[in-house]
Amino acid sequence: MFNFRYLLICVGIIATTGTVLPYVSLEKIGMASDGFQEYSRVANKPADKTQTVETLKSLGAEFNQPYKSEKNIECAIWRDDLITSIMLSPLKDLHELHDLRLYRCRITKAAWQEIQVLKIKELYLCGSRLSKSDIKEISKLKGLRLLWLDDTGITDKEVSMLGSLTDLQNLRITKNKLTDKSLDTIKYFTKLKILSLGESDISDAGVRKIQHLTRMTSLNLGSTKITDQTLIEIQGMTELEELLLANTAITDACIPQIKKFKKLRWLDVSYTKMTDAGFERLKSLRLKYLRTQRPLTQEMIDDLIRKQEEYLKKQKEKK
Protein backbone atom coordinates (compact mmCIF):
# COMPACT_ATOMS: atom_id res chain seq x y z
CA MET A 1 0.00 0.00 0.00
CA PHE A 2 1.36 3.43 -0.95
CA ASN A 3 2.66 5.20 2.16
CA PHE A 4 2.37 8.98 1.58
CA ARG A 5 3.22 9.71 5.19
CA TYR A 6 6.65 8.13 4.83
CA LEU A 7 7.28 10.09 1.65
CA LEU A 8 6.21 13.38 3.25
CA ILE A 9 8.45 12.76 6.25
CA CYS A 10 11.43 12.21 3.94
CA VAL A 11 10.64 15.32 1.93
CA GLY A 12 10.09 17.29 5.13
CA ILE A 13 13.51 16.33 6.46
CA ILE A 14 15.15 17.55 3.29
CA ALA A 15 13.14 20.79 3.12
CA THR A 16 13.53 21.81 6.75
CA THR A 17 17.08 20.68 7.50
CA GLY A 18 18.74 20.67 4.13
CA THR A 19 19.83 17.06 4.79
CA VAL A 20 20.53 14.90 1.76
CA LEU A 21 19.16 11.42 2.43
CA PRO A 22 21.61 8.81 1.09
CA TYR A 23 18.90 6.20 0.68
CA VAL A 24 15.11 6.25 0.57
CA SER A 25 13.31 2.92 0.45
CA LEU A 26 10.90 3.09 -2.48
CA GLU A 27 9.55 -0.36 -1.56
CA LYS A 28 8.56 0.92 1.88
CA ILE A 29 6.25 3.47 0.36
CA GLY A 30 5.00 1.06 -2.25
CA MET A 31 6.51 2.84 -5.25
CA ALA A 32 8.68 1.19 -7.87
CA SER A 33 11.61 2.99 -9.48
CA ASP A 34 9.64 3.78 -12.62
CA GLY A 35 6.86 5.18 -10.45
CA PHE A 36 9.29 7.48 -8.68
CA GLN A 37 10.57 8.70 -12.05
CA GLU A 38 6.98 9.52 -13.03
CA TYR A 39 6.50 11.41 -9.75
CA SER A 40 9.68 13.40 -10.46
CA ARG A 41 8.45 14.25 -13.97
CA VAL A 42 5.17 15.62 -12.62
CA ALA A 43 6.89 17.50 -9.77
CA ASN A 44 9.26 19.21 -12.21
CA LYS A 45 6.53 20.17 -14.65
CA PRO A 46 6.55 23.96 -15.38
CA ALA A 47 4.07 25.85 -13.24
CA ASP A 48 0.71 26.74 -14.77
CA LYS A 49 0.79 30.51 -15.38
CA THR A 50 -2.82 31.03 -14.41
CA GLN A 51 -2.08 29.44 -11.05
CA THR A 52 1.10 31.51 -10.76
CA VAL A 53 -0.84 34.74 -11.29
CA GLU A 54 -3.43 33.79 -8.70
CA THR A 55 -0.65 32.92 -6.25
CA LEU A 56 1.00 36.30 -6.84
CA LYS A 57 -2.30 38.10 -6.31
CA SER A 58 -2.75 36.30 -3.02
CA LEU A 59 0.70 37.58 -2.04
CA GLY A 60 -0.31 41.20 -2.72
CA ALA A 61 0.89 41.62 -6.31
CA GLU A 62 -0.83 43.88 -8.83
CA PHE A 63 -0.52 44.08 -12.59
CA ASN A 64 -0.49 47.47 -14.25
CA GLN A 65 -2.36 46.58 -17.40
CA PRO A 66 -5.41 44.51 -18.30
CA TYR A 67 -4.24 41.27 -19.84
CA LYS A 68 -6.05 38.85 -22.10
CA SER A 69 -3.73 36.03 -21.19
CA GLU A 70 -1.27 35.28 -18.41
CA LYS A 71 1.28 34.68 -21.17
CA ASN A 72 1.58 38.44 -21.69
CA ILE A 73 2.33 39.65 -18.16
CA GLU A 74 5.31 41.99 -18.29
CA CYS A 75 4.96 43.97 -15.03
CA ALA A 76 4.38 43.12 -11.37
CA ILE A 77 3.69 45.67 -8.61
CA TRP A 78 3.71 45.71 -4.82
CA ARG A 79 2.93 48.73 -2.65
CA ASP A 80 3.58 49.52 1.03
CA ASP A 81 4.78 46.05 1.93
CA LEU A 82 7.68 44.02 3.30
CA ILE A 83 8.96 42.13 0.26
CA THR A 84 10.15 38.60 0.99
CA SER A 85 11.55 35.79 -1.14
CA ILE A 86 8.26 33.87 -0.83
CA MET A 87 6.42 36.76 -2.49
CA LEU A 88 8.83 37.05 -5.41
CA SER A 89 9.66 33.40 -6.03
CA PRO A 90 6.65 32.74 -8.36
CA LEU A 91 7.83 35.54 -10.68
CA LYS A 92 10.44 33.26 -12.22
CA ASP A 93 7.61 31.40 -13.97
CA LEU A 94 6.55 34.59 -15.80
CA HIS A 95 9.15 34.53 -18.55
CA GLU A 96 7.89 37.73 -20.22
CA LEU A 97 8.29 39.76 -17.02
CA HIS A 98 10.75 42.64 -17.41
CA ASP A 99 9.25 45.35 -15.17
CA LEU A 100 9.21 45.19 -11.34
CA ARG A 101 7.70 47.95 -9.18
CA LEU A 102 8.09 48.00 -5.41
CA TYR A 103 6.61 51.28 -4.22
CA ARG A 104 7.24 52.35 -0.60
CA CYS A 105 8.45 48.86 0.30
CA ARG A 106 11.16 47.25 2.38
CA ILE A 107 13.07 44.45 0.69
CA THR A 108 14.69 41.54 2.51
CA LYS A 109 18.09 40.14 1.54
CA ALA A 110 16.49 36.88 0.45
CA ALA A 111 14.08 38.82 -1.77
CA TRP A 112 17.01 40.46 -3.53
CA GLN A 113 18.34 37.00 -4.34
CA GLU A 114 15.06 36.28 -6.12
CA ILE A 115 15.30 39.58 -8.02
CA GLN A 116 18.81 38.73 -9.21
CA VAL A 117 17.42 35.64 -10.96
CA LEU A 118 14.82 37.63 -12.90
CA LYS A 119 15.70 39.19 -16.23
CA ILE A 120 14.17 42.56 -15.44
CA LYS A 121 14.94 45.65 -17.48
CA GLU A 122 12.95 48.16 -15.43
CA LEU A 123 13.01 48.62 -11.66
CA TYR A 124 10.84 51.15 -9.80
CA LEU A 125 11.55 51.68 -6.10
CA CYS A 126 9.99 55.10 -5.53
CA GLY A 127 9.36 55.88 -1.87
CA SER A 128 11.14 52.76 -0.61
CA ARG A 129 13.69 53.30 2.16
CA LEU A 130 16.92 51.95 0.70
CA SER A 131 20.05 51.05 2.63
CA LYS A 132 23.59 50.70 1.30
CA SER A 133 23.08 46.94 1.12
CA ASP A 134 19.98 47.52 -1.07
CA ILE A 135 21.99 49.76 -3.39
CA LYS A 136 24.71 47.11 -3.59
CA GLU A 137 22.11 44.61 -4.78
CA ILE A 138 20.76 47.07 -7.35
CA SER A 139 24.28 47.59 -8.72
CA LYS A 140 24.38 43.88 -9.65
CA LEU A 141 21.43 44.29 -12.04
CA LYS A 142 23.59 45.29 -14.98
CA GLY A 143 20.84 44.60 -17.49
CA LEU A 144 18.69 47.48 -16.21
CA ARG A 145 17.54 50.06 -18.75
CA LEU A 146 15.29 51.99 -16.36
CA LEU A 147 15.79 52.79 -12.67
CA TRP A 148 13.55 55.05 -10.59
CA LEU A 149 14.76 55.90 -7.10
CA ASP A 150 12.64 58.95 -6.29
CA ASP A 151 12.36 59.76 -2.58
CA THR A 152 14.39 56.76 -1.41
CA GLY A 153 16.73 58.59 0.98
CA ILE A 154 19.83 58.04 -1.12
CA THR A 155 22.83 60.40 -1.12
CA ASP A 156 25.86 60.99 -3.34
CA LYS A 157 27.50 57.96 -1.71
CA GLU A 158 24.73 55.60 -2.81
CA VAL A 159 24.71 57.02 -6.34
CA SER A 160 28.45 56.36 -6.58
CA MET A 161 27.73 52.67 -5.92
CA LEU A 162 25.63 52.45 -9.10
CA GLY A 163 28.51 53.04 -11.50
CA SER A 164 28.19 49.55 -13.02
CA LEU A 165 24.76 50.34 -14.53
CA THR A 166 26.17 51.86 -17.71
CA ASP A 167 23.31 50.58 -19.90
CA LEU A 168 20.74 52.80 -18.17
CA GLN A 169 18.59 54.86 -20.52
CA ASN A 170 16.12 56.23 -17.99
CA LEU A 171 17.17 57.36 -14.49
CA ARG A 172 15.02 59.20 -11.95
CA ILE A 173 16.51 60.18 -8.60
CA THR A 174 14.37 63.16 -7.57
CA LYS A 175 13.55 64.16 -3.98
CA ASN A 176 16.89 62.96 -2.59
CA LYS A 177 19.77 64.70 -0.81
CA LEU A 178 22.03 64.87 -3.84
CA THR A 179 24.74 67.36 -4.81
CA ASP A 180 26.95 67.84 -7.86
CA LYS A 181 29.09 64.89 -6.68
CA SER A 182 26.39 62.52 -7.91
CA LEU A 183 27.04 63.67 -11.46
CA ASP A 184 30.59 62.29 -11.21
CA THR A 185 28.95 58.86 -11.54
CA ILE A 186 26.05 59.74 -13.82
CA LYS A 187 28.39 61.31 -16.40
CA TYR A 188 29.46 57.79 -17.40
CA PHE A 189 25.90 56.73 -18.25
CA THR A 190 26.36 57.66 -21.89
CA LYS A 191 23.19 55.86 -23.05
CA LEU A 192 20.89 58.04 -20.95
CA LYS A 193 17.90 59.52 -22.74
CA ILE A 194 15.80 60.47 -19.72
CA LEU A 195 17.27 61.98 -16.55
CA SER A 196 15.39 63.44 -13.60
CA LEU A 197 17.39 65.28 -10.93
CA GLY A 198 14.64 67.47 -9.50
CA GLU A 199 14.35 68.61 -5.88
CA SER A 200 18.07 68.30 -5.16
CA ASP A 201 21.11 70.56 -4.69
CA ILE A 202 22.38 70.16 -8.26
CA SER A 203 23.93 73.37 -9.63
CA ASP A 204 25.33 74.72 -12.92
CA ALA A 205 28.69 73.11 -12.08
CA GLY A 206 27.06 69.72 -11.78
CA VAL A 207 25.15 70.07 -15.05
CA ARG A 208 28.43 70.93 -16.77
CA LYS A 209 29.64 67.39 -15.96
CA ILE A 210 26.89 65.81 -18.07
CA GLN A 211 26.81 68.21 -21.01
CA HIS A 212 28.24 65.44 -23.25
CA LEU A 213 25.15 63.24 -22.77
CA THR A 214 23.71 64.34 -26.09
CA ARG A 215 21.22 61.47 -26.45
CA MET A 216 19.02 63.13 -23.84
CA THR A 217 15.38 63.62 -24.82
CA SER A 218 14.04 64.55 -21.36
CA LEU A 219 15.78 66.47 -18.57
CA ASN A 220 14.23 67.44 -15.24
CA LEU A 221 16.13 70.07 -13.23
CA GLY A 222 13.13 71.48 -11.39
CA SER A 223 13.69 72.74 -7.84
CA THR A 224 17.47 72.68 -8.12
CA LYS A 225 20.12 75.41 -7.79
CA ILE A 226 20.66 76.01 -11.49
CA THR A 227 20.71 79.43 -13.18
CA ASP A 228 20.68 80.70 -16.77
CA GLN A 229 24.20 79.28 -17.15
CA THR A 230 22.82 75.74 -17.26
CA LEU A 231 20.97 76.49 -20.50
CA ILE A 232 24.34 77.34 -22.05
CA GLU A 233 25.92 74.16 -20.68
CA ILE A 234 23.30 71.85 -22.25
CA GLN A 235 23.20 73.38 -25.73
CA GLY A 236 24.69 70.16 -27.12
CA MET A 237 21.56 68.23 -26.08
CA THR A 238 19.85 68.91 -29.38
CA GLU A 239 17.49 65.91 -29.05
CA LEU A 240 15.67 67.40 -26.04
CA GLU A 241 11.89 67.16 -26.29
CA GLU A 242 11.08 67.79 -22.63
CA LEU A 243 12.78 70.32 -20.33
CA LEU A 244 11.57 70.92 -16.78
CA LEU A 245 13.02 73.98 -15.05
CA ALA A 246 10.30 74.92 -12.56
CA ASN A 247 11.18 76.63 -9.29
CA THR A 248 14.71 77.60 -10.32
CA ALA A 249 16.55 80.91 -10.66
CA ILE A 250 16.40 81.14 -14.46
CA THR A 251 15.42 84.49 -16.00
CA ASP A 252 14.38 85.93 -19.35
CA ALA A 253 18.08 85.93 -20.28
CA CYS A 254 18.01 82.18 -21.05
CA ILE A 255 15.15 82.38 -23.55
CA PRO A 256 17.47 82.58 -26.62
CA GLN A 257 19.10 79.30 -25.49
CA ILE A 258 15.71 77.63 -24.95
CA LYS A 259 14.64 78.60 -28.47
CA LYS A 260 17.61 76.69 -29.91
CA PHE A 261 16.12 73.35 -28.89
CA LYS A 262 14.28 72.70 -32.15
CA LYS A 263 12.71 69.40 -31.01
CA LEU A 264 11.37 70.80 -27.73
CA ARG A 265 7.69 70.01 -27.11
CA TRP A 266 7.30 70.21 -23.33
CA LEU A 267 8.62 73.10 -21.23
CA ASP A 268 8.00 73.99 -17.59
CA VAL A 269 9.37 77.35 -16.43
CA SER A 270 6.78 77.99 -13.71
CA TYR A 271 7.78 79.67 -10.45
CA THR A 272 11.03 80.98 -11.87
CA LYS A 273 12.36 84.52 -12.19
CA MET A 274 10.98 84.90 -15.69
CA THR A 275 8.66 87.83 -16.34
CA ASP A 276 5.30 87.97 -18.09
CA ALA A 277 7.11 89.44 -21.08
CA GLY A 278 9.42 86.43 -21.12
CA PHE A 279 6.48 84.05 -21.00
CA GLU A 280 4.95 85.80 -24.01
CA ARG A 281 8.18 85.30 -25.96
CA LEU A 282 8.10 81.58 -25.22
CA LYS A 283 4.57 81.24 -26.60
CA SER A 284 5.97 81.77 -30.08
CA LEU A 285 7.62 78.32 -29.82
CA ARG A 286 4.20 76.66 -30.28
CA LEU A 287 4.98 73.93 -27.79
CA LYS A 288 2.62 71.05 -27.04
CA TYR A 289 2.86 71.93 -23.35
CA LEU A 290 4.06 75.17 -21.76
CA ARG A 291 3.73 75.84 -18.04
CA THR A 292 4.42 79.40 -16.94
CA GLN A 293 2.82 80.01 -13.53
CA ARG A 294 4.44 82.72 -11.47
CA PRO A 295 4.84 82.67 -7.67
CA LEU A 296 2.27 84.80 -5.84
CA THR A 297 3.57 88.14 -4.63
CA GLN A 298 1.96 90.23 -1.90
CA GLU A 299 0.77 92.63 -4.58
CA MET A 300 -0.97 89.79 -6.44
CA ILE A 301 -2.56 88.52 -3.21
CA ASP A 302 -3.87 92.02 -2.38
CA ASP A 303 -5.29 92.30 -5.89
CA LEU A 304 -7.11 88.96 -5.55
CA ILE A 305 -8.58 90.03 -2.20
CA ARG A 306 -9.75 93.32 -3.68
CA LYS A 307 -11.44 91.58 -6.62
CA GLN A 308 -13.12 89.11 -4.28
CA GLU A 309 -14.47 91.93 -2.10
CA GLU A 310 -15.82 93.75 -5.18
CA TYR A 311 -17.53 90.58 -6.37
CA LEU A 312 -19.19 89.98 -2.98
CA LYS A 313 -20.33 93.60 -2.83
CA LYS A 314 -22.02 93.34 -6.24
CA GLN A 315 -23.73 90.12 -5.25
CA LYS A 316 -25.06 91.77 -2.09
CA GLU A 317 -26.39 94.77 -4.07
CA LYS A 318 -28.29 92.43 -6.43
CA LYS A 319 -30.18 91.04 -3.48
Better-scored residue on pLDDT, 103 or 315: 103
Domain ranges in the chain? 4-43, 203-319
> Which pLDDT score, from 0 to 100, does residue 244 have?
98
pLDDT digits (tens, 9 = 90+) for 53-108: 888 889 899 986 654 455 578 899 999 999 999 999 999 999 889 999 999 999 99
Tell me the mean pLDDT in the region 278-298. 87
pLDDT for position 34: 47
Q: Three-state SS across the chain?
A: CCCHHHHHHHHHHHHHHCCCCCCCCCCCCCCCHHHHHHHHHHHCCCCCHHHHHHHHHHCCCECCCCCCCHHHCCEEEEECCEECHHHHHHHHHCCCCCEEEEECCEECHHHHHHHHHCCCCEEECCCCCCCHHHHHHHCCCCCCCEEECCCCCCEHHHHHCCCCCCCCCEEECCCCECCHHHHHHHCCCCCCCEEECCCCCCCHHHHHCCCCCCCCCEEECCCCCCCHHHHHHCCCCCCCCEEECCCCCCCHHHHHHHCCCCCCCEEECCCCCCCHHHHHHHHHHCCCEEECCCCCCHHHHHHHHHHHHHHHHHHHHHC
Does CATH place domain 203-319 in 3.40.50.300? Answer: no
Q: Tell me the pLDDT tens digit for each residue of 241-274.
A: 999 999 999 999 999 999 999 999 999 999 999 9
